[in-house]
């Protein structure tokens, strides 16, 4: 079993849920007359995507994309790996790309271009967290939950070595302090 790290809450569960309600209202208003497809970037966006879907007041479809540039316990981005094999039919639909965190912008920049070239639709983005100071690509989220400092975060879908995703709040782990399981 992996050792548990000391965790500091950065964004509480209540703050996240209030933010999602706000975002869902904005998205529902903007897309009220458009067929909408949400595309979640897996696996980190799973919580955000699910909670956002529940709060939307408009009909919508959903799909997922596998993308990762942080394999295993990496804390810095590596080569982007993407699987677009399971994209739903996006013909004539507005597309909202949902991701847990905008860091360097590499993933969202690539996905926006790739999906747009396949369906010729405008792609908008919604991210829960944005580390604006680390963004190197020309990407700005259309819908933003929280801008955060350049700290490594876990919880609410975000992981370290595929652990901590289950936490209901966003936490900053202290890797220098380990607690027994």
**Residue 178 — pLDDT band, cuts 50, 70, 90?**
low
Residue 180 falls within a domain, yes or no?
no
Q: Quick one: average pLDDT of 116-133?
A: 91
User: How many independent structural domains does the chain possess?
Assistant: 1
Catalytic site positions: 103
pLDDT tens-place string over residues 38-71? 999 988 999 999 999 999 999 999 999 988 765 5
- What average pLDDT is seen over the chain? 89
- DSSP output for 12-47: -HHHHHHHHHHHHHHHHHHTTTS-EEEEEEETTTHH
pLDDT tens-place string over residues 154-172? 999 999 888 999 999 999 9
Residue 94 falls within a domain, yes or no?
yes
Residue 176 falls within a domain, yes or no?
no
Task: Kindly report each contact of residues 68-76 with a partner whose C-beta sits within 8 Å and lies 24 or more positions away, as own/partner.
Answer: 68/43, 69/104, 69/106, 69/107, 72/161, 72/162, 73/160, 73/161, 75/152, 75/160
**CATH number of residue 122's parent domain:** 3.40.50.2020
Q: Which range marks the domain in which residue 60 is found?
A: 13-69+76-148
Residue 81 falls within a domain, yes or no?
yes
Q: What is the pLDDT of residue 97?
A: 96
Residue 160 falls within a domain, yes or no?
no
């Amino acid at each position: 079993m992996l050792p548990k790290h000391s965790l500091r809450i950065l964004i509480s569960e209540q703050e996240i849920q209030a933010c999602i309600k706000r975002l869902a209202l904005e998205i529902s208003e903007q897309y009220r007359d458009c067929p909408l497809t949400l595309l979640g970037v897996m696996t980190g966006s799973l919580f955000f995507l699910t909670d956002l879907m529940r709060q939307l007041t408009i009909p919508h479809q959903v799909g997922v994309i596998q993308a990762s540039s942080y394999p295993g316990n990496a804390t810095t981005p590596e080569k982007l790996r993407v699987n677009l094999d399971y994209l739903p039919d996006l013909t004539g639909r507005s597309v909202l790309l949902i991701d847990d965190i905008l860091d360097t912008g590499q993933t969202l920049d690539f996905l926006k271009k790739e999906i747009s070239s396949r369906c010729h639709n405008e792609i908008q983005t919604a991210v829960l967290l944005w580390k604006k100071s680390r963004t190197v690509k020309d990407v700005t989220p259309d819908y933003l939950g929280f801008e955060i400092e350049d700290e490594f975060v876990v919880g609410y879908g975000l992981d370290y070595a595929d652990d901590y995703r289950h936490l209901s709040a966003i936490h900053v782990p202290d890797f220098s302090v380990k607690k027994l399981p």
